[in-house]
Amino acid sequence: MHWDIFCRVIDNYGDIGVCWRLAAELCARGVPVRLRIDDASALAWMAPQGAPGVQVLPYDAAYAEHPAVVIEAFGCEAPAPYLAALSRRHAHCHSHHQPRPVLVNLEYLSAEDYVERCHRLPSLIMSGEGRGLTRWFFYPGFTARTGGLLREADLLLRQAQFDRPAWRQAHGLGDGDCAISLFCYEPPALPQLLGQLAHPVAGWQPRLLVTPGRATLAVQAQVGAQALQPRYLPPRTQAEFDAMLWACDLNLVRGEDSLVRALWAGQPFVWHIYPQDDQAHHAKLDAFLDWLQAPASLRAFHHAWNGMRDAASLPTLTPDLLREWRHCAQQARANLLQQADLIAQLQPFAAEKS
């Protein structure tokens, strides 16, 4: 029985990035998936080869071939005609004592306390086309009382087989270079970081690898940035993005998908959280840093990088600082590897609710 995943692409590729990884890994574990998406254009570079078992359809494609599970990612809602057909199927299965389709709202990632309270809670749809359906809330997270994080079954094997020296050599990095990947929005402290990299501490040679899009535009807008000779990277597939994180000595990431990938990489990282007008992201970032048990220097860097304190307070990057951050990242990774991954939790949950 296949699953349907609904995804609306808002901006910045994080939503489609998460949904594609989820769809591809479900298929790798034997579950065919129809990814119903309103803008699939990013898949041309993110996943140009597709994935066996994943069918990509328009968001409003007609309901067909009764799904076992329907996932509405990040609070998007399936189209009304689809919900109506799903509701009819649900009623039919109930009256005939058959497994019923399960409707799941896969929520945003957060380390805040409410996640553990709200994980796996039901919400009965009382009106509209989906009347009679129960929407189940499934929260990814960082603790055993949440839905866990997306992690491929073969991730550890791929990391063990990764040729880090070869990757670095192919990207023009010397043995003593400190490779820093930059995947960001427009961080307030970017000028301060670029100034640091232009005048590094003695014996330390940072090399900046800049991802395309907003990160490239943000760097190019800074006066004198070209003196750093940053390497502007082309668009990368998800597998290539993961390899970049494994190969670099510091990863500056943004949004949800790349944060999770940085955690699995086990290298020092800084998270540029998606900014919200009401500053709600500040509490979200601090909750994550609390879970991470971030040392004071890493917390201070996050606060300056995300505009929560003066940009001039950005700590100066040094090899000693990165060693401290690497220890923190690897401890967090080890803790997460002890927990069941998101799909390993989501599949039995859906089977139980059917």
Give catalytic residues, as residue numbers: 15, 256
Burial of 42 (0-12, 13-18, 19+ CB in 10 A): middle
Spell out the long-range contacts of 285-289 with Cβ–Cβ below 8 A and sequence spacing 24 or more.
Answer: 287/110, 287/111, 287/112, 287/113, 288/110, 288/111, 288/142
Q: Where are the alpha helices (DSSP H) in 137-279?
A: 155-161, 164-170, 190-198, 214-220, 238-247, 257-265
The amino acid occupying position 293 is Q
Q: Which residues pair with 207 in a beta bridge?
A: 179
Reference 106, options 134, 146, 79, 73; nearest CA is: 73
Query: How far apart are the C-alpha atoms of 34 and 57, rounded to whole Å?
Result: 7
Query: How far apart are the C-alpha atoms of 231 and 237, rounded to whole Å?
Result: 18
Query: How far apart are the C-alpha atoms of 273 and 291, rounded to whole Å?
Result: 15
94: which residues sit within 8 A by CB, 6+ positions away? 100
Query: How far apart are the C-alpha atoms of 272 and 254, rounded to whole Å?
Result: 4
Query: How far apart are the C-alpha atoms of 233 and 312, rounded to whole Å?
Result: 28
* CA neighbours closer than 13 Å in the CB half-sphere of residue 59: 16
Specify the DSSP element, H or E, that contains 18: helix 14-28
The two three-digit tokens of residue 110, written as one number: 């957060």
213-232 burial string, b = 16+ CB within 10 Å, else e?
A: eebeebbeeeeebeebebee
